[in-house]
Structure 1
């Protein structure tokens, strides 16, 4: 187990291999670690935890890289920089960057947001999820979310289309046992951020 605030050597190769956003990721890594969190690797990304609770994740896209706050919806966001990826994402929020200079200039702000995210976890605050009326989550999946919180986080990070495809497939089984086996079958798939057809 890596000590709080220290680089996890198991993740070093990931940072070394980066082709895109290399400088940005290194800078974000230092800023986040400065806040006394533990560096781990989840969902194929550097993920930072506090007392085993997910605080923030570093991830890159084609046009930007971002810090993803798992419970970003609970942060005060005085600077108005948190972005909700899609309207279906209820808890997570991103702060996006397109260059290292922007990250450098925002160091203090970013640390204050990370500190607040840690405080949210320490206080045991929870995001109140609105039920999506479009499609319902089968009970078997809800139970699995409780059992494996990481699955819930990974599921919510999927695009709305991917979520819908899974929910339709899981719900279409008549028997609970079949629904459970379908969920088991795609468990790792979801954790890896993949859709049903990926």
Structure 2
């Protein structure tokens, strides 16, 4: 079930309640707009995402969507997926770590200023669409599916192609293919349900 509010998000993570509430209080003392995006609290400036908070099994985190651009406040930042993540950075908190608003506020203020100045790291995407063989085979069997796929934007086509191609096992590729067929026929993108704030 998708959460609809920050309060609900915090309720679903009781072991991190205190930390999440502390991080939220820092965000609420800024001009950022609070919303739920990708199932977690996110904070935006004029519709552009600046920060977010999230709870995981072994830690909770304060996220910076363009954290790689921070120059003055960097010592606490971590790249969650070294080699994959270009812009996103996080500050992690484990149980017992002290959350110090006066220190974290500096990171948030610099992030807001970067956003206000229009600084951002654009994702690098390949322009070439590679349709996996499983999807090509499905098109041969179902011409309406192929027609629906061709009517999608190039970005949505790439999302579906990558979704199939990234699966390691053939059984996973087939189950993903079955999942996306009705979505393609409806003209939906793979990630459409996550794209509204």
TM-score (norm 1): 0.63
Aligned length: 152
- 1:98 corresponds, among 94, 98, 113, to 94
Q: Deviations 1:74-128 (Å, cap 9, x if unpaired)?
A: 111545111111120111101000136511xx21121111111111111001215
Give the TM-score of the pair, scaled to structure 2: 0.64
Q: Which residue of 1 aligns with 2:29?
A: 34
The change in CA–CA distance for 1:30 and 1:122 in structure 2 (over 3 A counts) is same
Q: Which has the larger radius of gyration?
A: 2
Equivalent position SS for 1:62: coil
Equivalent position of 2:120 in the other structure = 126
**What is the alpha-carbon distance in structure 2 between the residues aligned to residue 164 and residue 110 of structure 1?**
39
- Are positions 1:109 and 2:113 aligned together? no
Q: What are structure 1's unaligned runs of at least 5 residues?
A: 1-8, 145-154, 156-162, 170-177, 193-198
Residue from 126, 146, 154 that aligns with 1:140: 154
The answer (yes or no) to whether the contact 1:24–1:100 under 8 Å persists in 2 is: no
**Which of 60, 84, 88 is the equivalent residue of 2:55?**
60
Please say if residues 66 and 96 of structure 1, whose CA atoms lie closer than 8 Å, have aligned partners that are also in contact: yes
Match of 2:67 in 1: 72
Structure 2: any 5+ residue segments left out of the alignment?
Answer: 130-152, 167-180
Cα distance change, pair 74–85 in 1 and its aligned pair in 2 (3 A):
same
Match in the other structure for 2:173: none
Give the conservation status (yes or no) of the 8 Å contact 1:27–1:100: no
Query: What SS does the corresponding residue of 2:14 show, helix, strand or coil?
Result: coil
Alignment of 1:156-167 (within 5 A): 166=163
Pick from 178, 186, 190 the counterpart of residue 186 of structure 1: 190
